[in-house]
Amino acid sequence: MIEAQALTKRYDAKLAVDDLSFTVRPGVVTGFLGPNGAGKSTTMRMMIGLDRPSSGSVSINGRPYAEHAAPLHEVGALLEARGIHPGRSARNHLRALALTSGISRGRVDQVLDMVGLTSVAGQRVGSFSLGMGQRLGVAAALLGDPHTLILDEPVNGLDLDGIRWIRALLRRLADEGRTVFLSSHLMSEMAVTADHVIVIGQGRLLRDQPMADFIREADVDSIRVVTPDRERLAQALERSGATVTTDQDSTEPALTVAGTTAREVGTLAAEAGITLWELTPSAGSLEDAYLALTRESLDYQDRADDPSQELAS
């Protein structure tokens, strides 16, 4: 279990994390969301003692990370997968970590197999792709067979098979009763991986609730409309108070309409003599709910989520 209580972090005049309190419980996968610069990485760094809180506290399994006698056996963390000496082999990197905590060589081989790196375990890490580096970072996090996992962007650089693999791994770890806490900017993946979501903005807590409730309560259902007269229909819908965006990525450029109903769209189109080829209501997604929430709260979209960038901003 991870418990943050009134967690606050200042960098000179910059307030990166602001009175943040939440609990990450075992047995569920908890997603950690927020725009760049919201304080996610700073929060995760404070969890494992890399940054010291200005005030407040964060504990893992009842005590601060630094107070655990064998931290690797309690907490597995992936914050920077490429923070590894490039001249070391994957196996030697893990063996060096294992020696610091009395972990056997057999466990090193076991986690290499778990993450699919056995065949390249003797290669230097500097030759690894981004995805292979991510797998090695996950292996290091699993090395001590910890009860708590803290993973920052674990799917970054993974191909489709890799994404499916880590999704299944995290699900299995949570089903074993472990605490799994991860961040990601891939909303579609987070939606199918996480059971619970914590959303922050400008260092403050915005949401802490089950994923399904977060999406449902956002009330961001939309309607997909395909018509040969897009511009005229869009203008008519906007005059009626609806929000209209154009989806240029679809085979037929479609309108995505929010703030009204499919019946009202159909009626308006009929009155205007506009032909509709498609009129499809769709339930809101995690991405819709997240954007609706953060758009109202902040606009940090261009800021990097690390202390140096937060200071610069």
> What is the percentage of the chain residues whose pLDDT exceeds 70?
91
Please answer whether residues 24 and 32 qualify as being in contact, where contact means their C-beta atoms are separated by less than 8 angstroms. no
Contact between 246 and 257 (Cβ < 8 Å)? no
> What's the Cα-to-Cα distance from 192 to each of 167, 168, 197, 237, 312, rounded to whole Å?
8, 11, 12, 33, 35
Distances (CA, A) of 155 to 192, 195, 225, 270, 309: 13, 17, 33, 46, 23
Looking at residue 48, the DSSP 8-state letter turns out to be: T
pLDDT for 266-297, tens place per residue? Answer: 999 999 999 999 998 776 678 778 877 876 55
Task: Please give the pLDDT value at position 282.
Answer: 74
**How far, in Å, CA of 133 to CA of 9, rounded?**
30
pLDDT for position 261:
84
Q: How far apart are CA 135 and CA 158, in angstroms?
A: 8
- Number of neighbouring beta carbons within 10 Å of residue 25: 14
Whether residue 279 contacts residue 225, with contact meaning beta carbons closer than 8 Å, is answered with: yes
> What number of other Cβ atoms are within 10 A of residue 241's Cβ?
9
Q: Are strands 75-78 and 148-152 parallel, antiparallel or unpaired?
A: parallel
Q: What is the pLDDT of residues 214-273, one digit of tens each?
A: 887 776 667 889 999 999 999 999 999 888 888 765 567 789 888 788 899 999 999 999
pLDDT of residue 215: 82
pLDDT of residue 274: 95
Report the pLDDT value the prediction gives residue 36, as an integer from 0 to 100.
Answer: 86
Cβ neighbours for 53, distance < 8 A, ≥ 6 positions apart? 7, 8, 9, 17, 46
Which secondary structure element, helix H or strand E, spans residue 73, and what is its range? helix 71-74
Amino acid at 11: Y
Kindly report the number of other CB atoms within 10 A of residue 18's CB atom: 18
Those residues of the chain that have pLDDT short of 50 are 299-313
Angle between helices 90-99 and 130-142 (to 10 degrees): 20
In whole angstroms, what is the distance from residue 130 CA to residue 241 CA? 46
Greatest Cα pair distance in the chain: 76
Report DSSP state, residue 159: -
E-assigned strand segments in the chain: 2-11, 14-24, 29-33, 55-60, 75-78, 148-152, 179-183, 196-201, 204-210, 222-226, 243-247, 254-258, 278-282
On the CB side of 279, CA atoms within 13 Å amount to 15
Residue with the two structure tokens 């499916």: 164
Domains of the chain: 2-216+290-312 (3.40.50.300), 222-282 (3.30.70.980)
